[in-house]
Structure 1
Amino acid sequence: MSFVNIIKFKTLGDERGQLVSLESNGNIPFEIKRTYYIYDTSPGVPRGYHAHFTLRQTAVCLKGSCVVLMDNGIEKVEVTLDSPTKGLMIEPMQWHEMYDFTNDCILMVLASDNYDELDYIRDYDDFVGAVKNDDT
């Protein structure tokens, strides 16, 4: 998983239960400006299919599981998110697709900035072209 970065979160717990703390500029390596979550997904319907020019994100599967296809324009890696104790870093210029959501899946995403449609690359060919232009 050369370009894929998984963050393992420290878990605190005892007989009362478990706790994971997520902190801006701490175990989340950026300031968190937006949080959203995906749940109650339609069976067999994938999500994502985009990249960002500058946005950084951390995806955490709070419940259930899903698969995230990470693509840097050269290499593709499938990552299974199935634990609230690990986060997947989605860096700028990384195409990502989410699928195989379990019925109970809750996928939370922490983002480094507010929503900005102009930061999205929604066409895969445009993404690959942008990656190739970055390499020259």
Structure 2
Amino acid sequence: MRNSIGSVYNCSVVELPKIEDDRGNITPVQGAVNVPFDIARVFYLYDIPGGEARGAHAHKECHQFLIAAHGAFEVVLDDGTNKRTVVLNRPNYGLHIPPGIWAAEQGFSSGAICLVLTSHIYDESDYIRSYDEFLNYKAITPPPPEKIY
């Protein structure tokens, strides 16, 4: 039953360990320890022009874990029925996004860096890049367009 795949309520903000030191803090991140999956891929987004958004896709199998390594941004989560916005603005907090969630990052502060840890290596066939295709995958019928009188 595809409707049960991913809910915005299954997305969780996770506090990561913070080892404080007068010389600077350290936050270790370990797959299957702090992150709820084994890490297969790491990448980061940076130099994002003001007003630009990133993401705007879903995954069929891949889990993602997003961290604001520097600066801040919002993550808009959508399961086809419910929407939720999470602000990431501290490097010792991350957001787990399970498969079946449409996610878009927006509102990047100047110099923001979004660190992304994933459960799978890159596989284009795992991506859902069209919102209508996403709703079809989730077996959700989009509402009819509003009539303008």
TM-score normalized by structure 2?
0.86
Q: Which one-letter code corresponds to 2:38 in the other structure?
A: E
**Aligned partner of residue 29 in structure 1, secondary structure:** coil
Give, in whole Å, the separation in 1 of the partners of 2:31 and 2:85. 26
Aligned counterparts of 1:71 and 1:43: Cα–Cα separation in 2: 23
User: Following TM superposition, by how much is the alpha carbon of 1:10 offset from its aligned partner in structure 2, in angstroms?
Assistant: 1.4
Given candidates 7, 13, 16, the residue that maps to 2:23 is 16
Pick aligned residue for 2:123 from 112, 116, 134:
116
Whole-angstrom distance in 2 between the partners of 1:43 and 1:20: 28
Q: Which amino acid aligns with 2:101?
A: Q
- For 1:2, the equivalent position in structure 2 comes to 9
Once residues 101 and 129 of structure 2 are traced to their aligned partners in structure 1, the CA distance between those partners, rounded to angstroms, is 12
SS of residue in 1 equivalent to 2:138: helix
Aligned residue number for residue 102 of structure 1:
109
Check conservation: 1:3, 1:72, Cα contact below 8 A. no
Instruction: Give unmatched runs, 5+ long, in structure 2.
Output: 1-7, 141-149
Paired residue secondary structure (2:10): coil
Task: Report the Cα distance in structure 1 between the residues aligned to 2:63 and 2:11, rounded to whole angstroms.
Answer: 13
User: How big is each residue's C-alpha offset from its partner over 1:30-83, in whole Å with a ceiling of 9 and x where there is no partner?
Assistant: 111100000000111111110000000100001100011001111000111101
TM-score (norm 1): 0.93
Report what 1:52 is aligned to. Answer: 59
Runs of 4+ off more than 6 Å: none
CA distance in 2, matches of 1:26, 1:99: 28
* Runs (5+) with no aligned partner, structure 1: none
Task: Say if 2:10 and 2:98, in contact at 8 Å, map to a contact too.
Answer: no
The whole-number CA distance in structure 2 between the counterparts of 1:10 and 1:45 is 31
The amino acid that maps onto 1:11 is K
Task: Identify, as 1 or 2, the structure richer in strand.
Answer: 1
1:63-78 aligned at under 5 Å gives the runs: 63-78=70-85
| Structure 2 match to 1:92 | 99
Counterpart of 1:76, as a letter, is K
Contact kept in structure 1, 2:11 and 2:98, CA below 8 Å: no
Total equivalences in the alignment: 133
Instruction: Note if contact 1:58-1:110 (Cα within 8 Å) is conserved in structure 2.
Output: yes
Match of 2:48 among 41, 63, 66: 41
Quick check: 2:57–2:104 contact (8 Å CA) kept in 1? Answer: yes
Q: Which of the pair has more CA radius of gyration?
A: 2
